[in-house]
C-alpha cells in the first residue's frame, strides 16, 4: 500500500501519493524525513591525541549524531569534548561557557556522577579496559549547532568495560550562543586514544 499524505518539505513534486520505490529512492538520497547522512568518519590504529570533525554542515542540519568507539591509551581516563566557531582553527575552552551533568552506573549496582555549571569543556565518563574488546562505545546527539542565537545542547550515552561493565548517560550545553561548526574529542589519559573509529551524521528533519 503506497503512502498517502504530504511531507512538510517535499523535494519531489507529488500529489501526496508516494510509491514504495519513490520512498526508497528519497531515503537513499537523504531527502526522506528522519534519514541520516554520513558527513564524515575517522579511523586510526596508532595513538592519536584529538578527534576532530571540522565539517558539520551545520547550515543544513540542526541535529547531529556522533558515534565514537575508542579507548584511552592508559589505565584510566575520561572523554571530553569542546566546540569551535571558526572551523577548528581554535576550540572554545573558556571557563563558564559549558555546563554538564553525567551519571555512571555499574553492573554491580553502584553509581557515581560528574557535573559542573562553570566548565571550560564538557566531560564524559569513559574509562575502558586495555583491550580492543573492552573499548568504550558512545553516542552523542548535538542540537542547534548552526543557530547563532541558541545554545548548543548535547545528550550522551556510553558503555564500556573497565574492571566491570558500566554505562553512562547525561549531557551538556555550550551556554554561550554561537554557531558551532567544529567539535573536538580528547582524553586526559597521557597517551591519548589508542585505537578506534568515529562517525558524524546529520539528521534529516521530518
Q: How far is CA 185 from CA 51, 124, 140, 142, 205, in A?
A: 5, 10, 11, 13, 26
User: CATH number of the domain at 34-203, please?
Assistant: 2.60.120
What is the spatial distance between Cα 143 and Cα 205, in angstroms, rounded to a whole number?
A: 12
Per-residue pLDDT reduced to its tens digit, 86-123 = 999 999 999 999 999 999 898 999 998 999 999 999 98
| Residue 5, burial from CB neighbour count under 10 angstroms (0-12, 13-18, 19+) | exposed
**166 pLDDT more than 80:** yes
Domain boundaries, the chain: 1-32, 34-203
Average pLDDT, the chain: 84
**132 pLDDT more than 80:** no
Amino acid at each position: 500500500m503506497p503512502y498517502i499524505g504530504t511531507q512538510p518539505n517535499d523535494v519531489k513534486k507529488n500529489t501526496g501519493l508516494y510509491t514504495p520505490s519513490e520512498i526508497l529512492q528519497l531515503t537513499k538520497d537523504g531527502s526522506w524525513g528522519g534519514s541520516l547522512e554520513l558527513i564524515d568518519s575517522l579511523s586510526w590504529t596508532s595513538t592519536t591525541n584529538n578527534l576532530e570533525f571540522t565539517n558539520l554542515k551545520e547550515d543544513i542540519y540542526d541535529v547531529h549524531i556522533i558515534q565514537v568507539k575508542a579507548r584511552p591509551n592508559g589505565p584510566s581516563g575520561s572523554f571530553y569534548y569542546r566546540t569551535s566557531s571558526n572551523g577548528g582553527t581554535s576550540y572554545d575552552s573558556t571557563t563558564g561557557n559549558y555546563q554538564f551533568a553525567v551519571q555512571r552506573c555499574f553492573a554491580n549496582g553502584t553509581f557515581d556522577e560528574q557535573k559542573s555549571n562553570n566548565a571550560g569543556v564538557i566531560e564524559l565518563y569513559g574509562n575502558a579496559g586495555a583491550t580492543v574488546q573492552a573499548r568504550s562505545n558512545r553516542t552523542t546527539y548535538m542540537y542547534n549547532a548552526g543557530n547563532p542565537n541558541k545554545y548548543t545542547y548535547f545528550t550522551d550515552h556510553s558503555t564500556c568495560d573497565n574492571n566491570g561493565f558500566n554505562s553512562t548517560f547525561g549531557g551538556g550545553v555550550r551556554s554561550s550562543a554561537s554557531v558551532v561548526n567544529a567539535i573536538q574529542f580528547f582524553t586526559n589519559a597521557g597517551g591519548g586514544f589508542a585505537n578506534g573509529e568515529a562517525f558524524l551524521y546529520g539528521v534529516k528533519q521530518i
